[in-house]
Amino acid sequence: MTVVSEILLRPDIGRVVTVLCDAGHARKIGGVTLIEDIRAVPHAGHGQVGVCTGRSSDEINPDLLDVAVRFAAGANVAALALVGLPLDRPLPLTVSRLTERYGLSLLAVARGTDLARLVIAIEQEIALGPMRVIPRAATALAALDRAEPGPDPIGELAALAGRELGRAVSVAPGPDGDGVPVTVSGTVPARLHCAPAGDASDTVVRLVLHRAASLAGHAIERARRTSEGPAASRAALLAELLLSAPEDAGPLLARTRRAGFVVDGWHTVIHIELDNLDGLTGGETARHELTVEARRLALQSALNDGAGWQRADAGSALTLVRTEHAEPTAAQPKAVARTASAVLARLKEQFTGLRLYCGVGGSYQGLEGLQTSATEARAGSAAARTARHQDRPLAFRDLGFRRVLLQWYAMNSSRVVVDRLLAPLDELGPRRRDEALRTLQAFFDHPGSPREAAAALRVHRNTVANRVQRLLDLLDVDGDNAEHRLLLQLACRVAAQPSPRRH
């Protein structure tokens, strides 16, 4: 059976009724009666809602409220509604005590209310019981479809759904927990939750929440596309500029300058590789959406940590560029490192399980400086991957001798040569491949001394000689050719641990 408080949750009732006293809100009611004479209200077996007409309400002035409450209580009225009760003054103490004693709610109905519609609405609420949520849901769905949310689509649509359903709808941030997920570009920034009533109405309410969540997600995506259109265009231009040859960059430079990028400034690049996208996403579309969202979050986090950052969109990696008009101070590398750490932390918070390898380049001026910093940042991320330096920025300037090697390896042409040269080792399997690389490394680290190479590997020196010769034959390398030996030694150094292409 319905209680008074549930009836008042219906939006069209709640809009015209003000609660002055809620002492009867928990009482069950079986009907509604229109009261034309408070002294002649028929007694009901179950509690009832009594709605006074305008004329009878006018006869019950504030001085006679206590009398009206006694008559209503005698007729088993659980809630007494009067038209035009003053809302700007508290109830008389005697009236408050009587309502508490009899367990009766006192309601004020706004003047001009269509009482026939009000009584019918109350009767419908009583008759429908738990299924009263169905017409509310229909109203809620229509209101949601008409809504044009502002800057907070999730909060605004949740509040709208709650008002129309007559039930509190809350927003819980983050992807975990109960409730209906709001999905934006493959991620779940929040969930909508409504406390269950424990009856069939819960299913209807959940359908409304799913609609609200879907509309909120689409609204956020539309807003992002609108706001990020110019940013995406600049990001694509900047990515193209990073890869262009300086002698061919004339027209591209002009377009990039028109887009607002200060080409002649001092540039510092952060390069972040998203290592295990395939394991976190269910297909190419989801992979793309995750990458797009990661780029947006990375730039947002960088801008929160300091001005002057832009992004370059190329492939699945994230590239951020900081540009300054004047030469950076000595404190700038630490500031960039803090920004890189903040970006990585934000991405890890949003995408649980994502592996990140981050490199930070130096600060250089002009187009050539921009490309140099980008090359260093890519080399830094390659070094981070090789060293399993995960989820932490690695500055290129801290790499020592290896930065020369990695800068050479970061060039596309060098990478192709190394990968092709070492490709036959893949056929040996992971364990034997690693053994082969260790053998060649020891051989090159102890030139002219098979004994020392054998000691480093803890095998017989004849074993080293035999292994090296078999590997030279497998790789089609002339051991007597100094250039072949140098290239193989460089390749072994950059591939001594798992290389970027093998993760």
Q: Output the six-digit token pair for 429.
A: 């399997």
Same domain, 406 and 275: yes
Does residue 75 belong to any structural domain of this protein? Answer: yes
Domain boundary among 195, 222, 249: 222
Report pLDDT digits (tens) over 392-440.
898 877 665 555 555 555 555 566 667 788 888 888 888 888 888 888 8
Q: Output the six-digit token pair for 423.
A: 């490709």
Q: Output the six-digit token pair for 478.
A: 């002339």
**Are 361 and 396 a contacting pair, CB within 8 Å?**
yes
Domain boundary among 85, 107, 132: 132
Q: How far is CA 122 from CA 3, 98, 181, 211, in A?
A: 11, 24, 34, 27
Task: Tell me how crowded residue 17 is: count the other CB atoms within 10 A of its CB.
Answer: 21
Q: What are phi and psi of 18, to 5 degrees?
A: -115, 135
- Angle formed by the axes of helices 401-410 and 366-386, to 10°? 110
- Report whether pLDDT(318) > 80: yes
Q: Give the per-residue pLDDT at 498.
A: 40
Integer distance in angstroms from the first to the last C-alpha of the chain?
63
Q: How many domains does the chain have?
A: 4
Domain that includes residue 488, residue range: 418-502
Same domain, 373 and 479: no
Does residue 233 belong to any structural domain of this protein? Answer: no
Same domain, 89 and 116: yes
Same domain, 354 and 487: no
Same domain, 181 and 210: yes
Same domain, 274 and 395: yes
d(CA 192, CA 199): 19
Q: Give the per-residue pLDDT at 109.
A: 95
Looking only at the bridges linking them, the beta strands covering 356-365 and 180-184 are unpaired
- Report whether pLDDT(380) > 50: yes
**Mean pLDDT over the full length of the chain:** 83
Q: Output the six-digit token pair for 491.
A: 């390749």
Q: How many CA atoms lie within 13 A of 113 on its CB side?
A: 27
**Are 161 and 42 a contacting pair, CB within 8 Å?**
no
What is the DSSP-derived secondary structure letter of residue 138? H
Q: Give the per-residue pLDDT at 503.
A: 34
Mean pLDDT (whole number) for 163-176? 87
Same domain, 404 and 270: yes
Amino acid code (one letter) for 346: R
Q: How many residues does the chain have?
A: 503
Q: Give the per-residue pLDDT at 291.
A: 85
pLDDT, greater one: 281 or 24? 24
- 54-58, 71-75, 456-460, range with greatest mean pLDDT: 71-75
